[in-house]
Amino acid sequence: MTLKILLTADQYYPPTLGGSAIATRRLAHGLAERGHQVYVLAPSTAFRHSIEKDGKTVIIRCRSIPALHLRRYLNRHQIRVALVPDGVVERTILKIEPDVIHIQLPAYIGAIAARVGKRLGIPLVATNHAMPENMLPTQNKDNFAFKLVGKRFWEETIKLCESCDCVIAPSITACDMLFRNGLNKQSVPISNGVDLQVFHPPASPAEKVALRKRFHLPQDKTLILYAGRLAVEKRLDVLVDAMSAVVEKTNAHLVFTGTGSTEIQERVASRGLDEHVSFTGMLDDQLFPLIYRAVDLFAIPSEAELQGIVLLEAAASGLPLVGANAQAIPELIKHEQNGFLFAPGNVEELSKRLIELVEDPELRASMGESSLRLVQAHAIEACVEQNESVYLSVLGAAEKKE
């Protein structure tokens, strides 16, 4: 059965670099590959409306402006705020006539689409990708602004989810979080997924050597990778501080891939770690999978992950993983099987785990094999099919009501 599907996304890649933006694009492409007509309603990349093709998908870009209020938090050119009245969204929906609307949260465009879709009797699905920690330039939960924004975030998120016919979240942890914050209906855990044809281990040691040369990375070091936004909630300060101890005892070298705050570069310099740390900047779709094949292990100190797409990518690349024992990270890092968990914010414990892996190639290899086994359940094809099953379910329920 071919469906006409409208995805709404306040963050979409490109230009936005982030888990929800990337996951939404991969879902759109996966659905299109299964033969569905897929439309994406997202902010523009400039101050104008536009319609563009992205592979087999159609992106309808709403007029938007840069999110200047986030300038201390992220690269402000990457995050845009849509300036879209209800009438524009309604005209778009009436023109497309979608069978189902799938809202990606957090959502401004999506909230409008939900109101319009509800009025027109179109089945609604929502996926929540965020928590308050992802929205603010502070991780101090006692901070007044954090409490205020957090309360408002959950009120609006739960309200929108309650209006939908089905709610999805990318992990069991994310589903539990919705329930704890007031959702009165069951949510469905569906992984964001990873393309195992794109993210995979290097074909040979020679490929790893060539890739290190390509990225100007040292050949004689054990490389530790962090990939993603260089943002406050990722707790990269913990990783940088841990590296001070790691480089004293090992030949490790840290690689940051991604863009965002300049505070991390400043912290690296202040710790005297310049020669032990590389920044690749943001890599395009062709280069990004290759950076995983150039390194030896992956580290993520973040305490605010509802899944962690980069963990899926690192696991698919056959890497051992080290991560904070927080939120959904333990769902993808099985302690002492495919990596290590450490107490959130504990620099000493993180450095100990990194040193253990840097000094033991055999342990890295065995844990990397475990990562490959674990990630098979997150193959993008299966995850797209699960989303499709949700659409068919809500459509079937809507037909029974008629």
Asked if pLDDT for residue 238 goes beyond 70, the answer is: yes
Q: Which residue matches tokens 């992956």?
A: 298
> Which pTM was predicted?
0.93
Residue extents of the structural domains in the chain: 4-193+379-401, 205-378
Helix (H) or strand (E) holding 167: strand 166-169
Tokens of 360: 């033991």
Q: What is the reported pLDDT for 186?
A: 95
Give the number of C-alpha atoms closer than 13 A to the C-alpha of residue 401, restricted to the C-beta side.
10
Class of domain 205-378: alpha beta
What gap in Å lies between CA 20 and CA 9, rounded to an integer?
8
Are the CB atoms for 25 and 43 separated by under 8 Å?
A: no
Dihedrals phi, psi of 71, to nearest 5 degrees: -65, -25
Tokens of 56: 């087999």
What gap in Å lies between CA 48 and CA 375, rounded to an integer?
40
What gap in Å lies between CA 366 and CA 357, rounded to an integer?
11
One-letter amino acid for residue 176 of the chain: D
Asked if pLDDT for residue 210 goes beyond 80, the answer is: yes
Class of domain 4-193+379-401: alpha beta
β-pair type (4-9, 100-105): parallel
Q: 194: which DSSP letter?
A: B
Q: How confident is the model at residue 178 (pLDDT cuts 50, 70, 90)?
A: very high
Structure confidence by residue, pLDDT tens digits, 290-346 = 999 999 999 999 999 999 999 999 999 999 999 999 999 999 999 999 999 999 999
What gap in Å lies between CA 187 and CA 167, rounded to an integer?
5
Q: How confident is the model at residue 73 (pLDDT cuts 50, 70, 90)?
A: very low
